[in-house]
Amino acid sequence: MLLFNAMRLSANLLKISLLLALFPASASAALIFNIDTFTTDQLTISIPAGSATLDATGTPPPDIDATALYLMDPNGGNSDWVVGNASGGGSGEIDGKAINHFHSLNNVNIGAPHDVLVFLTDDILSAGDTVTSAISITWSGSNAFDPSAISSVLLTWGADGSGVSYPYGDPQGTTSTPAVPDTGSTAALLGVGVAALAFARRKLVKNSFRSPLRDNFFWGQLMHIHCDGAAALTPPRWIA
C-alpha cells in the first residue's frame, strides 16, 4: 500500500511539474490573431487584449519599420489573394499605442511584388509589448480578395532593414483561412435558371466581364506614417 501511494504521489507531482512548465511559454506567446470574416469583399481580423506579446525572433525591427505589422502568405510570396483595391479601418492598441493607419499593398494598385495588408501605429513598437486594447481591423472593397488563393495568413512585425528576405520581419502567429464553400452546385442551378429565363423571354443573355484595368495609387497614398511628430511618405523598405 505504501509503495502504491508513493507511486501515485510521484505521478501527481510529475503532472504538476509539466503544467507549471507550460505557463512561462504561454505567458510569452507571440501575437495570435483570428480571422473573423474572409470573403471576396471583406477581410476582418481580431487580436484580443491579453498576455500575448510582440516577439522578436531575432533583432527587433529598426526605427520606423517597427511601427508596422503585415499580413501575408506564410508559404512565400503570393500575388494572387488581394486582387483589387481594399481600404482598411479599425481600432485597438499595442502598449497603449493606437493602431490608426491601414493599407493594402498589392501588384494591382502599386506593383508590389507580393500581396500584403498593413496596419501601423504612430509610435515605434518594442519587443515584449502587449495588446492593451483589443484589436479589430477590416479591409474591404468590391471583389478585393480571392479567399481561395490563400490557405493561411501570417502576421509579421516590421521589416529588419532593407534587402531582407521573406517574410521580412519577425513572424508572430499564423491562422488558417476559413474554408471556401463549394459553389459548383449553386452555380449550376443558377445557370439553369438563367437559361430558362432567357428562353421564356426570347432574349440573349450576355455575360459582363470586369475590366482587368484598375486604378494605380501614388506612393503618397500607399503609406502615411507619423514618427515622433514628423510625417514621412515612404514605402516599406522591403518593397524597394
Q: Considering only residues 212 and 8, tell me which one the structure prediction assigns the higher pLDDT.
A: 8
Judged against a pLDDT cut of 60, whether residue 175 lies above it is answered with yes
Could you give all domains of the chain from N- to C-terminal order, each with its CATH number? 28-181+211-239 (2.60.40)
Alpha-carbon gap, residue 102 to 92, rounded angstroms:
12
**Assigned C-alpha cell, 47:** 487580436
Please check whether residue 108 is in contact with residue 80, taking contact to mean a CB–CB distance below 8 angstroms. no
Q: Residue 82: beta bridge partners?
A: 145
Contact 69, 157 (CB under 8 A): yes
Residue 78: which of 122, 112, 43 has the closest Cα?
112
Cβ-Cβ contacts under 8 Å for 186 (sequence gap 6 or more): none
Average pLDDT, the chain: 71
Q: What is the pLDDT of residue 191?
A: 46
* Closest alpha carbon to 95 in 73, 70, 69: 69
pLDDT tens per residue across span 52-92: 889 988 788 888 889 999 999 999 889 999 999 999 999 99
Find the angle CA(95)-CA(60)-CA(127) to the nearest 5 degrees. 30
The mean pLDDT of 114-140, rounded to a whole number, is 95
Q: Is the pLDDT of residue 144 over 80?
A: yes
